[in-house]
Structure 1
Amino acid sequence: MSFLLAQGMTGGYGSVDILHDCTIAVEKGEIAVIVGPNGAGKSTAMKAVFGMLNIHTGNVFLDGEDITKLSPQDRVAKGMAFVPQTNNVFPSMSVEQNLEMGAFLRRDDINKTIEEVYSLFPILGDKRKQNAGELSGGQRQQVAVGRALMTQPKLLMLDEPTAGVSPIVMDELFDLIIDIARTGLSILMVEQNARQALNIADKGYVLVQGRNRFTDTGQALMNDPEVRKSFLGG
């Protein structure tokens, strides 16, 4: 079984189903990306994996354990971390306070993890006393990811991590995502910049109307003529 296996998910909001028999899997140390057109159910699939909405059919397994019925907080305790697209930092708190908030479930010494985050994101170390709301968009995303890493997760989930940032910052964020995966962490990412995301992905999922349309390695999807024509601009 894959490290993360969200199998046959059908569900959505209230009585409206957005996902239809959707399956997402991620191996240890792998980058998996979910792409597709607007309204395809990409973020909904991510929220379903994290337990933020109910699925009537399907199951979610993490490291072989069925976590389908667990709350998001309980999933964090099991090793999941989720970075939403917006409102993902505490703007009136300092960078360091934001990181400390990420460790709210921990009862051990968090200072070593804070230093590891500063090593991964040196600019945050420089700005540790500055309020997160005063940072650039790319720096705020680093704070959000850093705060998620404070939980010492096994699976890091990123919803549109490059939304609203410049192309240069986007490239930097993708490089950092690769560096994080190299530490052995599994990453599941929803991304609107499909071409760039598939370029760094070990595995890619193309969703259309809440259903799996294509599943393959990132490179294979990049080279697939139908995927290129329909979803990558030719």
Structure 2
Amino acid sequence: MSFLIGENMTGGYGATNILNDCNISVEKGEIAVIVGPNGAGKSTAMKAIFGMLNLREGRVLFNDEDITALNPQDRVRKGMGFVPQTHNVFPTMTVEENLEMGAFIREDDFRHTMEQVYDLFPILKQKRRQPAGELSGGQRQQVAVGRALMTQPQVLMLDEPTAGVSPIVMDELFDRIIDVAHTGIAILMVEQNAKQALNIADKGYVLVQGTNAYTDTGEALLANPEVRRTFLGG
């Protein structure tokens, strides 16, 4: 049994299924990456796992518990963190206030966790008094990831974390994601930059029309001629 698994997920919006018998899982300390063409259901799979989409069939298991019926807030309390692709910071609040908002479910002293976030993203400590809306795109992504880490999640879900950032910033974000995984947190990530994401992935999922086309290690998917030809540009 995997630490987090979306099992046989079928569901969508209205009468249309976006996901069709889709399976996604990740273990503690592992990076699992979901890739595929536009409209493949990648972000929908993430939303289903986080409770933002009701499943018609299938279930979500987290730490050996069926959480299919739980809403997103209750999943956060169970230990899940989710960073959406857009609108993922409070732009008028300072960096530090954004991080404090991430600790809303905490009743203990969270200052140590904030220092860990600042160690992970030193630029945020420098800019902690600055409104998040004044930061660069890459820095805002760091704030969003940092805020999710303030809940002390056991699994961190990232929807297109490198969207709209430069290649240098993308590499830096991926390095930090690796650092987070090394602490034992499970990472589940949707990425458009498929080659780079699979390069750091322990496990990769290629979705097509809401179903699993290929599932393997990141290394094996990068070496698969059919995957390379069809999804990675040769």
Instruction: Supply the distance in 2 between the matched residues of 1:168 and 1:5 (Cα, whole angstroms).
Output: 32
Number of the residue aligned with 2:58: 58
Q: How does 1:145-224 map to 2 (within 5 A)?
A: 145-224=145-224
Matched, 1:15 2:15: yes
Q: How does 1:6-85 map to 2 (within 5 A)?
A: 6-85=6-85
Q: How does 1:90-129 map to 2 (within 5 A)?
A: 90-129=90-129
Q: Residue 133 of structure 1 aligns to which amino acid in structure 2?
A: G
Instruction: Supply the distance in 2 between the matched residues of 1:65 and 1:181 (Cα, whole angstroms).
Output: 22
Q: Residue 188 of structure 1 aligns to which amino acid in structure 2?
A: L
Moved over 4 A (4+): none
Instruction: Supply the distance in 1 between the matched residues of 2:29 and 2:178 (Cα, whole angstroms).
Output: 10
Instruction: Supply the distance in 2 between the matched residues of 1:57 and 1:4 (Cα, whole angstroms).
Output: 17
Q: Residue 143 of structure 1 aligns to which amino acid in structure 2?
A: V
Cα offset for 1:227? Answer: 0.2
Cα offset for 1:13? Answer: 1.1
SS of corresponding position for 1:179:
helix
Cα offset for 1:14? Answer: 1.9
SS of corresponding position for 1:73:
helix
Cα offset for 1:36? Answer: 0.1
Number of the residue aligned with 2:229: 229
Q: Residue 173 of structure 2 aligns to which amino acid in structure 1?
A: L
Instruction: Supply the distance in 2 between the matched residues of 1:15 and 1:151 (Cα, whole angstroms).
Output: 35
SS of corresponding position for 2:68:
coil
Q: Residue 119 of structure 2 aligns to which amino acid in structure 1?
A: S
Number of the residue aligned with 1:134: 134
Instruction: Supply the distance in 2 between the matched residues of 1:16 and 1:99 (Cα, whole angstroms).
Output: 37
Q: Aligned residue pairs: how many?
A: 234
Cα offset for 1:139? Answer: 0.3
Cα offset for 1:210? Answer: 0.3
Cα offset for 1:16? Answer: 1.2
Cα offset for 1:198? Answer: 0.2
Instruction: Supply the distance in 1 between the matched residues of 2:14 and 2:89 (Cα, whole angstroms).
Output: 28
Q: Residue 197 of structure 1 aligns to which amino acid in structure 2?
A: A
Q: Deviations over 1:70-121 (max 9, x none)?
A: 0000000000000000000000000000000001111111111111100110
Among all aligned residue pairs of Structure 1 and Structure 2, give the percentage whose two residues are the same amino acid: 76
Unaligned runs of 5+ in 2: none
Instruction: Supply the distance in 1 between the matched residues of 2:12 and 2:47 (Cα, whole angstroms).
Output: 10
Q: Residue 82 of structure 2 aligns to which amino acid in structure 1?
A: F
**TM score, norm. by length of structure 2:** 0.99
Q: Residue 68 of structure 2 aligns to which amino acid in structure 1?
A: T
SS of corresponding position for 2:18:
strand
Q: Deviations over 1:148-174 (max 9, x none)?
A: 000000000000000000011001001
Q: Residue 179 of structure 1 aligns to which amino acid in structure 2?
A: D
Instruction: Supply the distance in 2 between the matched residues of 1:16 and 1:109 (Cα, whole angstroms).
Output: 45
User: Once superposed, what is the RMSD of the aligned Cα atoms?
Assistant: 0.4
**TM score, norm. by length of structure 1:** 0.99
SS of corresponding position for 1:77:
helix
SS of corresponding position for 2:176:
helix
